[in-house]
Amino acid sequence: MTQDIGTAVQRYLDYPKLSGIIYTVGNEQNHHFKVLFRILEKLNYSWSSKCFHLSYGMVDLPDGKMKSREGTVVDADELLSSVINEAKNLTSDRGFLEGLSEDEIADICEKIGISGLKYFLLKVDPKKKMSFNPKETIDLSGHTGPFIQYTFVRIKSLLNKSKNLNHEFDIDQLDINSKELDVLKQIAKFPEVLEQSATELSPYILANYLYSLVKSYNSFYQDFPIITEPVENSKNFRIQLSNMTSNLIEKGMKILGIEMPLRM
């Protein structure tokens, strides 16, 4: 406790313009931080009200809680290496890495692996307890970061094929279908979702929104042609819709600390 008091004071001495301190620590320490903040308040530090404990539920392995005494812990370096290797095996099996250099392969696999790990943890409400299974993090068809990345790569490939086309459209002449409308509604939610996620210090809100956006787009993509759409006005609108979707995916994932590959 005395160390935490001293550290908090030193932070504000070193960085007097701090807007606040967020302690990201498991919920087993809830009482500790309530006491810490109360002590800082009693010591008349005006910034004590800007200290916040971002409490999160415990993360268990598939076979139970991690216990250092029993050796059931996850080493961060080993975990990262594991998910990156899983990503390499997955992309190799699908033939996505043919013709790429070793450096390009390493970069792509690192982005996929880190995406799987980060997104798997961030998509859960921090207040809830969760079970972490490394093998589930890079599923390309599940609720995962790599699934979102894969959709982004697919859209970018489509946009590259259409970059020499005219993308102007007349909205008054459009007959927007229900799948297109669903994507537009998801796009319109982004500012509100971003604000809520930031205000509540809950990245899971943004993470789950991005998954919903991707699902809506994939549903549209599977049912309607884009580049091969014979009606020019509709084709141009769908290209623009795809471009807006890819931009939001990239922006949202960047906020979560996840980089997007251009090939998978």
Query: What DSSP string describes the chain?
Result: -HHHHHHHHHHHHH-TT---EEEEEEGGGHHHHHHHHHHHHHTT-GGGGGEEEEEE--EEBTTB--BGGGTB---HHHHHHHHHHHHHHHHHHTTTTTT--HHHHHHHHHHHHHHHHHHHHHTS-TTS-EE--GGGTT-TTSSSHHHHHHHHHHHHHHHHHTTTS-----GGG----HHHHHHHHHHHHHHHHHHHHHHTT-HHHHHHHHHHHHHHHHHHHHHS-STT-SSHHHHHHHHHHHHHHHHHHHHHHHHTT----S--
- Highest average pLDDT, of 69-78, 83-92, 239-248, comes from 239-248
* Higher-confidence position of 69 and 254: 254
Query: In terms of domains, do 47 and 73 share one?
Result: no
Categorize the per-residue pLDDT at 130 as very low, low, confident or very high, splitting at 50, 70 and 90.
confident
Q: Whole-prediction pTM value?
A: 0.85
Quick check: is 145 in a domain?
A: yes
Average pLDDT, the chain: 90
Query: In terms of domains, do 37 and 73 share one?
Result: no
For residue 37, the model assigns a pLDDT of: 97
- For residue 8, what are the domain limits? 2-56
Number of domains in the chain: 2
Quick check: is 157 in a domain?
A: yes
For residue 73, the model assigns a pLDDT of: 65
Quick check: is 262 in a domain?
A: no
pLDDT digits (tens, 9 = 90+) for 3-35: 999 999 999 999 999 999 999 998 999 999 999
Quick check: is 63 in a domain?
A: no
For residue 218, the model assigns a pLDDT of: 97
pLDDT digits (tens, 9 = 90+) for 185-228: 999 999 999 999 999 999 999 999 999 999 999 999 999 999 99
